[in-house]
């Protein structure tokens, strides 16, 4: 198990190098899919060998990288990062398998970029050295930029540039904060920095710098404007990974770095971020309601749903934080599935306008059944995964400030509204467009069902047996809360 974290991180990179040398597009596709499946199977070893009640880092790898500057290759995993790593390794084979059916040009470049992005994302979730984290963080921008810019839709270049410039601007200031922290502590070690007790003024600047980079990635209102363009223009698999995993790098950054390293500043600015999260929940839902493009609707739903995650994080209690970590996984599964189904529909009709559909239950009933289940998962129907995460977040938010929970609940109602409206416009009513007739529009095939069924199974597993996940999240969150609660008490006494 000593090298397991490195194997999981760099297997996709190795696969990318191999497939570039492979002859023929078919071989490249098979190598990409095989690499992601092997990576997923290897990552399951983490789950199989996970000790009960583990609160700290269950596995760590640490080797000297630039020892004169105290920079180490340092990876580690606890109950918070465990599920995000597994989410990444689970979604990537699904995204690659879908791409194998629909990507026709420059297949090798596309597959290599997808695998490089997987290495970068896993690295972000495992890095325990700030320099190593920053390297993985920045590296993740490059594959997504080219995936959108090369294989995206009509306005792909504009969307790719906007995505790249927004996220690069945020992370540039974060680099300054990393250097400031190092010059005040002499270390880049994340675990050591959690007990560093930095001066309050240093904490405030560094927290805001980190928070800006993370908030853009989330994306938190009002820094969200790059997201709809990126989602709408990205290829389907790019949207699945962007929503399913890449956005979680921002919320994870708050949990792993911003709150534990700068706890006093986090508490001081907690109210601001909680209100921005609430505005994002309501704004994202209201804008989703008026979208005419189904992919744009799902994109704005991400702004709303990740607002819930941020609300849970800044509730500053165990229920809110545990719910936020679980909801990161839930959103990755539900919204990833929504983008996947939108892609399946687009490949059939080459349009995403809601006005072009209606009555599809008559022609493609299997597609509509799965779309309804996925929509209800995203809306938080009891018994499905979304409900557990949102309910736990609302419990934590209510304990912190009852008004937060009231406004958050309004967001759940709005989510059900826009998702049911979308389902009605697509699946219900009369079938008036001849292009949607059963003789023209094929239903889901076996390959597509094979991609959707594992996602739907997980909806029910998490919804009905949430403790399978929370039992591993809670101990890690409780250990982090011990650090936070002491700081909260100090700040309250000062005020």
If you average pLDDT over each of 33-42, 197-206, 261-270, 341-350, which comes out highest? 33-42
pLDDT at 490 (0 to 100) = 45
Q: How far is Cα 316 from Cα 326, in angstroms, rounded to an integer?
A: 16
- Copy the structure tokens of residue 313: 């994080």
CB 248 within 8 A of CB 214: no
| Res. 465 pLDDT band, cuts 50 70 90 | very high
448's tokens? 């597509």
What confidence score (pLDDT) does residue 396 get? 92
Contacts of residue 379, Cβ cutoff 8 Å, sequence gap at least 6: 386, 412, 415, 416, 419, 420
Does 440 have pLDDT greater than 90?
Answer: no
For 418-437, what is each residue's pLDDT tens digit?
999 999 999 898 888 888 88
Cα–Cα dist 157/272, whole Å: 34
Closest CA to 89 of 32, 35, 40, 46: 40
pLDDT band at 226 (very low <50, low <70, confident <90, very high): confident
Burial of 37 (0-12, 13-18, 19+ CB in 10 A): middle
Backbone angles phi, psi at 74, to 5 degrees: -130, 110
Beta partners for 72? 64
* 3-state secondary structure at position 428: coil
Consecutive H or E run containing 227:
helix 226-233
Under 8 Å between Cβ of 106 and 270: no
| pTM value > 0.85 | yes
pLDDT in tens, 127-160: 999 999 999 999 988 898 898 888 887 888 888 8
Neighbours of 344 (CB within 10 A): 22
What confidence tens digit (pLDDT) does each residue in 292-329 have?
989 889 988 888 999 999 999 998 888 999 999 999 99
Average pLDDT over the chain reads 89
Task: Give the tens place of pLDDT for each residue, 67-108.
Answer: 888 899 999 999 999 999 999 999 999 999 999 888 888 888
Proportion of the chain above pLDDT 70, given as a percent: 97
- Residue bearing tokens 């363009």: 229
Residue in 382, 401, 377 with CA at minimum distance from that of residue 278: 401
Question: How many residues make up the chain in this entry?
Answer: 495
Question: Residue 21 has which token pair?
Answer: 């040398």
State yes or no: pLDDT of 402 exceeds 80. Answer: yes
Tokens of 214: 């993370």
How many of the other CB atoms lie within 10 Å of CB of 317? 20
* 282 and 407 Cβ atoms separated by less than 8 Å: yes
* Range 342-351 average pLDDT: 89
Q: What is the DSSP letter of 354?
A: G
Query: How far, in Å, CA of 187 to CA of 378, rounded?
Result: 41
């Amino acid at each position: 198990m000593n090298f397991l974290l490195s194997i999981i991180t760099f297997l996709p990179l190795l696969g990318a190098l191999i497939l570039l040398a492979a002859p023929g597009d078919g071989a490249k596709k098979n190598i990409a899919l095989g690499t992601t499946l092997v990576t997923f199977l290897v990552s399951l070893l983490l789950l199989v060998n996970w000790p009960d009640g583990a609160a700290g880092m269950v596995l760590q790898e640490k080797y000297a990288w630039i020892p004169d500057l105290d920079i180490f290759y340092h990876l580690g995993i606890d109950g918070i990062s465990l599920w995000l790593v597994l989410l990444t390794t689970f979604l990537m084979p699904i995204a690659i398998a879908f791409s194998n059916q629909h990507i026709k040009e420059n297949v090798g470049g596309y597959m290599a970029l997808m695998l490089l992005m997987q290495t970068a994302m896993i690295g972000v979730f495992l890095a325990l050295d700030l320099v190593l984290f920053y390297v993985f963080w920045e590296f993740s921008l490059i594959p997504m930029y080219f995936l959108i810019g090369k294989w995206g839709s009509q306005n792909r270049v504009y969307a790719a540039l906007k995505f790249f410039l927004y996220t690069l601007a945020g992370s540039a200031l974060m680099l300054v904060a990393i250097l400031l922290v190092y010059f005040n502590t002499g270390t880049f070690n994340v675990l050591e920095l959690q007990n560093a007790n930095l001066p309050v003024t240093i904490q405030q600047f560094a927290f805001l710098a980190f928070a800006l980079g993370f908030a853009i990635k989330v994306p938190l209102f009002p820094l969200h404007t790059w997201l709809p363009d990126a989602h709408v223009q990205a290829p389907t698999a790019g949207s699945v990974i962007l929503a399913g995993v890449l956005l979680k790098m921002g919320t994870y950054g708050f949990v792993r770095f911003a709150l534990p390293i700068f706890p006093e500043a986090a508490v001081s600015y907690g109210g601001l971020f909680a209100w921005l999260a609430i505005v994002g929940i309501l704004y994202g839902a209201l804008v989703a309601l008026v979208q005419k493009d189904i992919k744009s609707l799902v994109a704005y739903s991400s702004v709303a749903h990740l607002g819930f995650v941020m609300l849970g994080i800044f509730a500053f209690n165990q229920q809110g934080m545990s719910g936020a970590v679980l909801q990161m996984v839930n959103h990755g599964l539900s919204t990833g599935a929504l983008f996947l189904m939108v892609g399946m529909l687009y490949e059939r009709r080459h349009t995403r306008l809601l006005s072009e559909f209606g009555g599809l239950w008559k022609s493609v009933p299997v597609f509509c059944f799965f779309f309804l289940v996925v929509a209800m998962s995203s809306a938080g129907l009891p018994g499905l995964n979304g409900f557990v995460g949102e309910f736990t977040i609302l419990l934590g938010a209510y304990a912190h400030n009852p008004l937060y929970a009231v406004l958050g609940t309004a967001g759940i109602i709005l989510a059900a509204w826009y998702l049911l409206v979308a389902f009605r416009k697509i699946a219900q009513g009369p079938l008036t467009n001849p292009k949607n007739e059963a003789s023209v529009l094929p239903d889901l095939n076996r390959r597509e069902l094979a991609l959707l069924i594992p996602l739907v199974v997980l909806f029910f597993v998490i919804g009905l047996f949430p403790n399978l996940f929370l039992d591993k999240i809670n101990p890690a969150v409780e250990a982090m809360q011990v650090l936070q609660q002491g700081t909260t008490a100090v700040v309250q006494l000062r005020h």
